[in-house]
Structure 1
Amino acid sequence: MIGLFNDCFPPIMDGVSLTTQNYAHWLNRKTGNVCVVTPKSPHVRDNEEYPVYRYSSLPIPMRKPYRFGVPQVDLAFQYKLNQISFELVHAHCPFSSGALAMRIAKSQNIPLVATFHSKYKADFERAIPNKKIVDYLIKDVIRFYEGADEVWIPQASVEETLREYGYKGKVEVVDNGNDFSDYGSVYSMRATAREELGVNDGEFVFLFVGQHIFEKNLAFLLESLAIIRYIPYKMYFIGSGYAEGRLKQMTEELNLSSKVFFVGTVSNREQLSRYYAAADLFLFPSLYDNAPLVVREAAALHTPSVLISGSTSAAIVTDSVNGFLASHSTADYARKIRELTVSPLLMRMAGDKASHSIARSWENVVDEVCDRYQCLMRRTSCNHPDVLWQAI
């Protein structure tokens, strides 16, 4: 059994949750031998084609709907987990689920892969005002990654963050994929989606998808949009988070209520794809994200992103080729958007280029993952039957 461990899983929706879900889906399709281990969410009943093992959890204050896992008190879960013979475990988070993966790897003498997805220090600093405690927690995170057999990162630029945190070991780059790569005619889809949204001729559509938290620079985004309020546009925010109420208040204060719309969480992937397809630009000024899945999703539907130059997120974009970059200034970010609205051909060309250079299907990514798992198991001299991989 291949075990995928993460501290959240759908219906909690974020980039790492979706990554874990897509790994599980495609590994199950290719090997039929995968499970997910994750905290319980209230009223959730899993209907996946593979096992999902959930353990006791508590709500995290100010971070609804995220949960704090407490597997040590869940005796029924512990008994069930101890009955499973794993061949490899892959942790997508260093906290409760990662600790479980580490324990299993040691007790069953199997390989542990750990992917570094997030800038945990920013989360700690927001919640904890004490620098010494934050530094201790970061050292604890790094100790976790130092204990893994392989450390993966979703794009090369993420290595810089790991090094800043103090990690000195080897890293492997394994791209994230997206589940929108196989759509047909994007441009006919775009026309239909814009009609459904009631977009007028000559009106531009801008989009943000992600957690509504201030770490993602969303106040900056609203202030930038206020500078160009005279341009005919509709801006859609999709997602939820602790900052949502304040962002809606800012929208009113900036006189943007007729142009900015908060859609809430969109769990239906087909519905979400229509928003991506309808958009002229995906606006993502975050300095917080490492390798945002949403930029790749937008690219798959030929929608280019406007990112902050020098941010980790922007490392996969070449300005005016497969996306657009602006400095970390509301005036410059607004200027970039304004210039692009008078260059629709440039936006379209960048979107087309992004679809070829940034977007990669999850099926293709998981083919690579399977090869890497197999090589790691052989290298660590684990006795795994080759028949497991005949479907790959």
Structure 2
Amino acid sequence: MTPGARISAAIEVLDAILAGRPAEQALLRWSRASRYAGSGDRAAVRDLVFTALRRRNSHAALGGALTGRGLMIGGLREAGHDLAALFTGQGHAPAPLVPGEGSGSAADLCDLPDWLRPLWDRSLGDRAGAVAAVMRDRAPVWLRVNTLKATSQTVIAGLAADAIAAAPHGCLETALEVLENERRLSRSPVYCNGLVELQDLSPQLACAALPIRPGMRILDYCAGGGGKTLAIAPRASGLTMVAHDADPARMADLPVRARRAGAQVQVTAAPSGAFDLVVADVPCSGSGTWRRTPDSKWRLTPTSLGDLTALQSAILRRAARHVGRGGHLAYMTCSVLDVENDDQIAEFLDDVPDFSPVSRYLWTPLDAGDGFFLALMERR
């Protein structure tokens, strides 16, 4: 595909997303209908689409319209490309620009929904503008070394053999940032044999902050794919790891992943007994991950956020019932919004007096990877 053809494809996909189709679904639909597109073309179109979604407000302003065409004009203009050379109308390139297209201004625009900005500012204070600015860029790729099978040094060497460059985080040696050739990861023996897992830095830091001791019974109450279960499992000997999710289908791949990682995990639809640690990574807005899923920030509404906070409150109270005396409850979200984080914890501690706060963390893209929240509480 020519550069112009890729832009036309991105315009088509963006129009589908703006009409209400989720980004991944729109990209998959285009890919299946465009068998002529190679892997490089699909990756390039995906990058164009996700960049436009991360910067939707500013690119629409620069391009003159909140349409796929307007977003691409604004994005290419911001990047300094020659629009006339790309919008030629020849072959599969988009039609030439008409008077007025690409003449707008995006000064001082924030690429967040207008209704959310006051809540964003209240939650992040003097960091609000800086975090919003970072959210306009692509997120880094992080790996977690599975210490049941490898060390950071052996993983780095193994990845290098596949021309994948990675470097350890300064404070968490098992966290590796991929610096080059990330798209080769899925075919690397290091990844296929369970020596590493894809996991952002922030949840890795959160799992490292949990009070893990040998022989503990640990419940991952909202396990999903089991990323945190597998991150906790290597931290001490004799752990009993139990994974639960309200939708068992989300855990379908966990037994296979656990075997590949060499971890012992029990998957259950109905956890029983008391646990020394219960981890509840609850459903949330994902506001801390909007660099990776930028279309979700435009689909969030005040109503859907209210539904999420009600669900979080209910899950937190259900998870607390499984914490034994003297045990800990870890509440996690991949959000940076107070209503999903500190406000939830304050209300919970008021309602459930036999829990007391232990520690609280909020990571943002300014100091880690994704935005991520952890509140650790102890049952007296």
TM-score (norm 2): 0.32
Specify the structure having the higher radius of gyration (Cα).
Answer: 2
Which of structures 1 and 2 has the larger relative contact order (alpha carbons within 8 angstroms, sep 6+)? Answer: 1
